[in-house]
Amino acid sequence: MRSVVMFQAMLVVSTFFLLVLYSSLHKELVDAHKKVVYSPKARSPGPPERREVATRDNATSRHPPAVLNVSISAGFRSAFPENGAYWNRLLHSGFRRLDRGEDPLGAEAPWGLCRENNQEALETNVPDVATYPLFFRRFLQGMKCRSPPLLIDQPAKCEEARGANATFLLFAIKSRPGNFERRQAVRETWGREQLHGGRLSVRTVFLVGAASADDPDLGPLLAFEAGLYGDLLQADFHESLFNLTLKMNAFLRWTLHRCPRVSFVFSGDDDVMVNTPALLRYLESLLPPRAARLYAGQVIRTATPLRDPNSKYFIPMSFYDGPYPVYVGGGGFLVSGALLRPLYSACRAVPFFPIDDVYVGMCFAALRVSPEAHAGFHTFDIREKDRDNLCAYRSLILVHRRSPQQVKKIWRGLQSPLLTC
């Protein structure tokens, strides 16, 4: 009798065990089936030489897509003649696409495949391209490459600022991989992340590109720096003067994704000195309508394309024919957070231009947003006789081209209660 009872007990336990096992296996099979059927990542990977590019492109797909319902002002459309110049032809071709409800720039090739390396294609569109300087030819080849993947990201940069203390001001500083000393001076002075007055949250990011084949590999050091300070963004493009436009576009994409509720953005170089308290007072003084359409700094009204091939800002006539817009100097300027998405959308309708601050001015002109001059911005420096006078900096917001040592000295002086002006 006892053996029968034991047999029945063993049968019950075995049946329970089999049911649990079946349930577990069934769930795994269903989950696997769902992944294969519904997940876009379930496709077979490409060849080994393409896998890295595909992975990076997937990472960038998290960024906001291009917004195509942007209205381009009639004045901007008519400001540039539709003639043989390559940039002008790209612009007006984009307008026609936009009017049809299409992406003005057409389909964007994946990163790593977007460069135009066909010399015949370049010569067909720009017959005298062989006379262009090498740096300009490289820009032409990469004009349609607009979405570099991030090698180093800061996904939580603005998360801690949610709620009542949402990011008020974001410092977006253009830097280069080797400029650690400049970045550190900014961190220790005007770009320090903190809650000013217990109310205004200030955050800082530095955007850098990648080293070229001729430069030392600073990747491990940058990764360490990014982990230590949490303020470094690195995008997958080579540093160059003409890639600053690409850097600005990459920053706009990142901000819309990571800091969509920021009130104001300051874009500047890593060798500027900013009087942060004066800057915050100015921003707080703005009435809402003005604050919502702010594009401010040192306004440049009379610049024209330089046709001297020996100038680093050389713009060939066969590439671009037309005026420069009124724009704000790129050493440091302010933009309303409310304008970031319209600005990014407008830039989808304007082909890349080699000079980044001129390009930003073009995109704002397309939106009918006029730059606002502020006497406190000195992107071309102040008078030489005033540069060692701390009192000359009290009423300023920005001065350009200061060494890390000068930045620290000026900042300490401005914070000192002993300073008498």
Q: Write out pLDDT tens, residues 354-383.
A: 999 999 999 999 999 999 999 999 999 999
> What value does the CA radius of gyration of the chain take, rounded to a whole number of Å?
27
- Specify whether 271 is located in the same domain as 356: yes
* 137/219 same-domain check: no
Give percent of the chain with pLDDT exceeding 70. 82
Same-domain status, 116 and 206: no
Element (H, E) at 407: helix 404-415
CA distances from 202 to 175, 193, 327 (A): 19, 5, 26
Q: Does a structural domain hold residue 169?
A: yes
Report residue 162's pLDDT band, with 50, 70 and 90 as the boundaries: low
pLDDT of residue 365: 98
Residue 247 lies in a domain: yes
Count of structural domains, the chain: 2
- Clarify whether residues 130 and 170 are in a common domain: no
- In a domain? residue 4: no
Q: Is residue 47 assigned to a domain? A: no
Q: Are 62 and 257 in contact (CB under 8 A)?
A: yes
Per-residue confidence (pLDDT) for residue 213, from 0 to 100: 81
Tell me the average pLDDT of the chain. Answer: 86
Whether residues 123 and 244 share a domain: the answer is: no
User: Of the residues 122, 141, 160, which one is the last residue of a structural domain?
Assistant: 141
pLDDT at 8: 45
Tell me whether residue 44 is in a domain: no
Task: Specify whether 257 is located in the same domain as 377.
Answer: yes
Mean pLDDT of 334-347: 97
163 and 202 in a common domain: yes
Q: Of residues 291 and 48, which shows the higher confidence score?
A: 291
Label residue 107 by pLDDT band (50, 70, 90). Answer: confident
Residues 196 and 277 in one domain: yes
| pLDDT bracket for residue 47 (50, 70, 90) | very low
Domain-located, residue 330: yes
Q: How far is the C-alpha of 108 from the C-alpha of 332, rounded, in Å? A: 30
Residues 186 and 133 in one domain: no
Instruction: Give the three-state DSSP class for 415.
Output: helix
Q: Which of 97, 112, 141 is the last residue of a domain?
A: 141
In a domain, 23, yes or no: no
Q: What's the count of helices (H) and strands (E) in the chain, helices before strands?
A: 14, 14
Give me the CATH number covering residue 339. 3.90.550.50
pLDDT tens digits along 142-152? 999 999 999 99
3-state secondary structure of 247: helix
pLDDT tier at 70 (50, 70, 90 boundaries)?
A: confident
> Could you say which of 141, 168, 197 is where a domain stops?
141
pLDDT value at 345 more than 90: yes
3-state secondary structure of 214: coil
Instruction: Indicate whether 33 belongs to any domain.
Output: no
Residue 205 has pLDDT above 50, yes or no: yes
Q: Are strands 167-174 and 200-210 parallel, antiparallel or unpaired?
A: parallel
Whether residue 204 sits in one domain with residue 109: no
pTM score of the predicted model: 0.84
Q: Are residue 133 and residue 208 in the same domain, yes or no?
A: no
* Residue 136 sits in the same domain as residue 154: no
- What is the spatial distance between Cα 381 and Cα 359, in angstroms, rounded to a whole number? 22
Of 63-67, 269-273, 338-342, give the lowest mean pLDDT range. 63-67
Distance of alpha carbon 333 from alpha carbon 359, whole angstroms: 14
pLDDT at 49 over 60: no
Residues of the domain holding 225 = 150-415
Nearest to 67 by CA among 406, 348, 303, 257: 348
Whether residue 156 has pLDDT greater than 50? yes
> Angle at Cα 360 formed by Cα 363 and Cα 53, nearest 5°?
95
